[in-house]
Amino acid sequence: MPHLILMRHGQSMWNAAGLFTGWVDVPLSPTGIDEAREGGRAIAHLAIDEVHVSTLIRAQMTAMIALSEHHSGLTPVVQYPTDVEDGMSENETRMREWSQIRGEAGQEGLLPVHVAWQLNERMYGDLQGLNKQATRDQYGAEQVHVWRRSFDVPPPSGESLELTAKRTLPYLESTLLPALEAGKSVFVAAHGNSLRSIIMHLDGLDTEEVLALEVPTGVPIVYTMDNGSLVRSQA
Protein backbone atom coordinates (compact mmCIF):
# COMPACT_ATOMS: atom_id res chain seq x y z
CA MET A 1 0.00 0.00 0.00
CA PRO A 2 1.28 3.51 -0.76
CA HIS A 3 2.39 5.63 2.16
CA LEU A 4 2.99 9.27 3.01
CA ILE A 5 6.18 10.04 4.93
CA LEU A 6 6.32 13.40 6.70
CA MET A 7 9.62 14.60 8.17
CA ARG A 8 10.43 17.88 9.83
CA HIS A 9 13.88 19.14 8.92
CA GLY A 10 16.76 18.39 11.28
CA GLN A 11 17.91 20.99 13.77
CA SER A 12 18.85 24.23 11.99
CA MET A 13 21.62 26.59 13.04
CA TRP A 14 18.99 29.01 14.36
CA ASN A 15 17.16 26.20 16.21
CA ALA A 16 20.46 25.59 17.97
CA ALA A 17 20.90 29.30 18.68
CA GLY A 18 17.34 29.68 20.05
CA LEU A 19 16.20 32.15 17.36
CA PHE A 20 12.85 32.41 15.60
CA THR A 21 13.43 31.40 11.98
CA GLY A 22 10.23 31.32 9.90
CA TRP A 23 11.08 32.01 6.26
CA VAL A 24 14.69 33.05 6.96
CA ASP A 25 16.73 30.58 4.90
CA VAL A 26 19.05 28.99 7.48
CA PRO A 27 20.89 25.66 6.93
CA LEU A 28 21.11 22.63 9.20
CA SER A 29 23.45 22.49 12.17
CA PRO A 30 25.85 19.53 12.54
CA THR A 31 23.27 17.98 14.88
CA GLY A 32 20.59 18.54 12.24
CA ILE A 33 22.69 16.76 9.64
CA ASP A 34 22.98 13.77 11.99
CA GLU A 35 19.22 13.85 12.62
CA ALA A 36 18.47 13.88 8.90
CA ARG A 37 20.78 10.92 8.36
CA GLU A 38 19.19 8.99 11.25
CA GLY A 39 15.69 9.78 9.96
CA GLY A 40 16.75 8.55 6.54
CA ARG A 41 17.92 5.26 8.00
CA ALA A 42 14.51 4.79 9.65
CA ILE A 43 12.75 4.97 6.26
CA ALA A 44 15.49 3.44 4.11
CA HIS A 45 13.40 0.31 3.54
CA LEU A 46 10.20 2.12 2.56
CA ALA A 47 9.34 2.69 -1.10
CA ILE A 48 9.53 6.32 -2.20
CA ASP A 49 8.24 7.32 -5.64
CA GLU A 50 8.40 11.09 -5.36
CA VAL A 51 9.65 13.76 -2.95
CA HIS A 52 8.21 17.15 -2.01
CA VAL A 53 10.21 19.82 -0.17
CA SER A 54 9.78 23.46 0.74
CA THR A 55 11.82 26.23 -0.86
CA LEU A 56 13.94 26.54 2.30
CA ILE A 57 17.42 25.01 2.42
CA ARG A 58 16.99 23.25 5.78
CA ALA A 59 14.14 21.15 4.39
CA GLN A 60 15.99 20.46 1.14
CA MET A 61 19.17 19.46 2.99
CA THR A 62 17.14 17.14 5.20
CA ALA A 63 15.53 15.42 2.22
CA MET A 64 18.79 14.91 0.33
CA ILE A 65 20.72 13.67 3.38
CA ALA A 66 17.88 11.32 4.35
CA LEU A 67 17.66 9.97 0.80
CA SER A 68 21.39 9.28 0.77
CA GLU A 69 20.58 6.45 3.21
CA HIS A 70 17.80 4.97 1.08
CA HIS A 71 18.11 1.40 -0.13
CA SER A 72 16.67 2.09 -3.59
CA GLY A 73 19.81 3.71 -4.98
CA LEU A 74 17.65 6.17 -6.93
CA THR A 75 19.05 9.62 -7.74
CA PRO A 76 16.98 12.54 -6.39
CA VAL A 77 16.58 15.15 -9.15
CA VAL A 78 14.83 18.49 -8.63
CA GLN A 79 12.10 18.96 -11.22
CA TYR A 80 11.70 22.37 -12.86
CA PRO A 81 8.66 23.27 -14.98
CA THR A 82 9.26 22.98 -18.70
CA ASP A 83 7.17 25.98 -19.75
CA VAL A 84 8.64 29.48 -20.01
CA GLU A 85 6.30 32.27 -18.99
CA ASP A 86 6.17 35.97 -19.86
CA GLY A 87 7.88 38.22 -17.34
CA MET A 88 10.35 35.59 -16.13
CA SER A 89 13.91 36.69 -15.49
CA GLU A 90 16.71 35.48 -17.74
CA ASN A 91 17.98 33.21 -14.97
CA GLU A 92 14.53 31.68 -14.39
CA THR A 93 14.10 31.09 -18.12
CA ARG A 94 17.54 29.52 -18.41
CA MET A 95 16.90 27.23 -15.42
CA ARG A 96 13.67 25.92 -16.94
CA GLU A 97 15.20 25.41 -20.37
CA TRP A 98 18.66 24.13 -19.43
CA SER A 99 17.72 21.84 -16.53
CA GLN A 100 15.75 19.37 -18.63
CA ILE A 101 17.08 15.83 -19.09
CA ARG A 102 17.79 15.09 -22.76
CA GLY A 103 19.19 11.56 -22.77
CA GLU A 104 17.14 8.45 -22.08
CA ALA A 105 19.81 7.07 -19.73
CA GLY A 106 19.28 10.06 -17.44
CA GLN A 107 15.63 9.10 -16.98
CA GLU A 108 16.59 5.77 -15.44
CA GLY A 109 16.90 5.50 -11.67
CA LEU A 110 15.46 8.99 -11.20
CA LEU A 111 13.58 10.05 -8.07
CA PRO A 112 11.65 13.28 -8.82
CA VAL A 113 11.90 16.06 -6.22
CA HIS A 114 9.29 18.84 -6.31
CA VAL A 115 9.88 22.19 -4.60
CA ALA A 116 6.78 23.95 -3.24
CA TRP A 117 6.57 27.25 -1.37
CA GLN A 118 3.25 26.03 0.06
CA LEU A 119 5.25 23.70 2.33
CA ASN A 120 7.35 26.53 3.79
CA GLU A 121 7.43 27.15 7.52
CA ARG A 122 4.93 29.50 9.11
CA MET A 123 6.12 33.07 8.54
CA TYR A 124 6.97 34.47 11.97
CA GLY A 125 6.74 38.13 10.98
CA ASP A 126 8.37 40.56 13.41
CA LEU A 127 9.72 37.68 15.51
CA GLN A 128 12.05 36.37 12.77
CA GLY A 129 15.63 36.62 14.00
CA LEU A 130 14.66 37.37 17.61
CA ASN A 131 16.00 35.32 20.51
CA LYS A 132 13.22 33.11 21.87
CA GLN A 133 14.08 33.55 25.55
CA ALA A 134 14.50 37.30 25.19
CA THR A 135 11.08 37.41 23.52
CA ARG A 136 9.57 35.46 26.43
CA ASP A 137 11.19 37.89 28.86
CA GLN A 138 9.74 40.86 26.97
CA TYR A 139 6.21 39.64 26.21
CA GLY A 140 5.74 36.84 28.74
CA ALA A 141 6.00 33.09 28.26
CA GLU A 142 2.22 32.71 27.93
CA GLN A 143 1.95 35.21 25.07
CA VAL A 144 4.86 33.64 23.20
CA HIS A 145 3.29 30.19 23.70
CA VAL A 146 0.05 31.49 22.14
CA TRP A 147 1.98 32.89 19.15
CA ARG A 148 3.85 29.61 18.69
CA ARG A 149 1.17 26.99 19.34
CA SER A 150 -2.33 28.46 18.94
CA PHE A 151 -4.40 27.84 15.82
CA ASP A 152 -5.65 31.30 14.90
CA VAL A 153 -3.42 33.86 16.67
CA PRO A 154 -0.50 35.01 14.49
CA PRO A 155 2.72 36.57 15.77
CA PRO A 156 2.99 40.28 14.91
CA SER A 157 2.97 40.70 11.10
CA GLY A 158 3.18 36.91 10.69
CA GLU A 159 1.07 33.85 9.94
CA SER A 160 -1.09 31.84 12.30
CA LEU A 161 -1.36 28.08 11.94
CA GLU A 162 -4.78 28.70 10.42
CA LEU A 163 -3.25 30.89 7.70
CA THR A 164 -0.48 28.35 7.12
CA ALA A 165 -3.11 25.64 6.62
CA LYS A 166 -4.73 27.74 3.90
CA ARG A 167 -1.71 27.03 1.69
CA THR A 168 -0.59 23.58 2.91
CA LEU A 169 -3.96 21.84 2.77
CA PRO A 170 -4.76 22.87 -0.83
CA TYR A 171 -1.33 21.47 -1.77
CA LEU A 172 -2.17 18.26 0.09
CA GLU A 173 -5.47 18.00 -1.79
CA SER A 174 -4.25 19.02 -5.25
CA THR A 175 -0.84 17.33 -5.35
CA LEU A 176 0.00 14.89 -2.56
CA LEU A 177 -3.28 12.99 -2.27
CA PRO A 178 -3.66 12.42 -6.03
CA ALA A 179 -0.16 10.90 -6.10
CA LEU A 180 -1.05 8.59 -3.21
CA GLU A 181 -4.36 7.64 -4.83
CA ALA A 182 -2.41 6.77 -7.98
CA GLY A 183 -0.42 4.26 -5.93
CA LYS A 184 2.71 6.35 -5.38
CA SER A 185 4.51 6.61 -2.04
CA VAL A 186 5.43 10.18 -1.17
CA PHE A 187 8.14 11.67 1.05
CA VAL A 188 7.64 15.23 2.32
CA ALA A 189 10.45 17.14 4.05
CA ALA A 190 9.12 20.37 5.51
CA HIS A 191 8.74 22.29 8.78
CA GLY A 192 7.22 22.13 12.22
CA ASN A 193 4.18 24.27 11.51
CA SER A 194 3.54 23.39 7.88
CA LEU A 195 3.52 19.75 9.00
CA ARG A 196 1.44 20.53 12.10
CA SER A 197 -1.29 21.90 9.83
CA ILE A 198 -1.23 18.76 7.67
CA ILE A 199 -1.14 16.39 10.67
CA MET A 200 -3.96 18.32 12.33
CA HIS A 201 -6.07 17.68 9.24
CA LEU A 202 -5.09 14.03 8.78
CA ASP A 203 -5.55 13.14 12.47
CA GLY A 204 -8.76 15.14 12.86
CA LEU A 205 -7.42 17.31 15.70
CA ASP A 206 -9.44 20.28 16.89
CA THR A 207 -8.07 23.73 17.68
CA GLU A 208 -7.45 22.80 21.31
CA GLU A 209 -5.82 19.44 20.64
CA VAL A 210 -3.35 20.98 18.18
CA LEU A 211 -1.90 23.10 21.00
CA ALA A 212 -0.14 20.01 22.35
CA LEU A 213 1.03 18.75 18.95
CA GLU A 214 4.83 18.70 18.69
CA VAL A 215 6.65 17.60 15.55
CA PRO A 216 10.21 16.51 16.45
CA THR A 217 13.12 17.34 14.16
CA GLY A 218 14.37 14.58 11.90
CA VAL A 219 11.80 11.97 12.94
CA PRO A 220 9.68 10.45 10.13
CA ILE A 221 5.92 10.22 10.62
CA VAL A 222 4.36 7.61 8.34
CA TYR A 223 0.79 7.28 7.07
CA THR A 224 -0.42 4.33 4.99
CA MET A 225 -3.21 4.64 2.44
CA ASP A 226 -5.84 2.10 3.49
CA ASN A 227 -9.21 1.97 1.70
CA GLY A 228 -8.90 5.58 0.61
CA SER A 229 -7.87 6.91 4.04
CA LEU A 230 -4.46 7.75 5.46
CA VAL A 231 -3.78 5.87 8.70
CA ARG A 232 -0.74 6.32 10.97
CA SER A 233 1.67 3.41 10.84
CA GLN A 234 5.18 2.51 11.96
CA ALA A 235 8.24 3.49 9.94
**Is 121 part of the annotated catalytic residue set?**
yes
Helix axes 192-203, 161-171, angle to 10 degrees: 70
Residue among 9, 52, 114, 191 flagged as catalytic: 9
User: What gap in Å lies between CA 46 and CA 15, rounded to an integer?
Assistant: 29
Residue among 3, 35, 114, 121 flagged as catalytic: 121
C-alpha pair distances (Å), 126 with each of 101, 166, 228: 42, 21, 41
CA angle 184, 188, 190 (to 5 degrees): 170
Running DSSP on this structure, what letter comes out for residue 41?
Answer: H
User: What gap in Å lies between CA 88 and CA 85, rounded to an integer?
Assistant: 6
**Is 85 part of the annotated catalytic residue set?**
no
Q: How far is CA 128 from the centre of its chain?
A: 19
What is the DSSP pairing of strand 220-226 with strand 3-8? Answer: antiparallel
Active-site residues, by number, are 9, 121
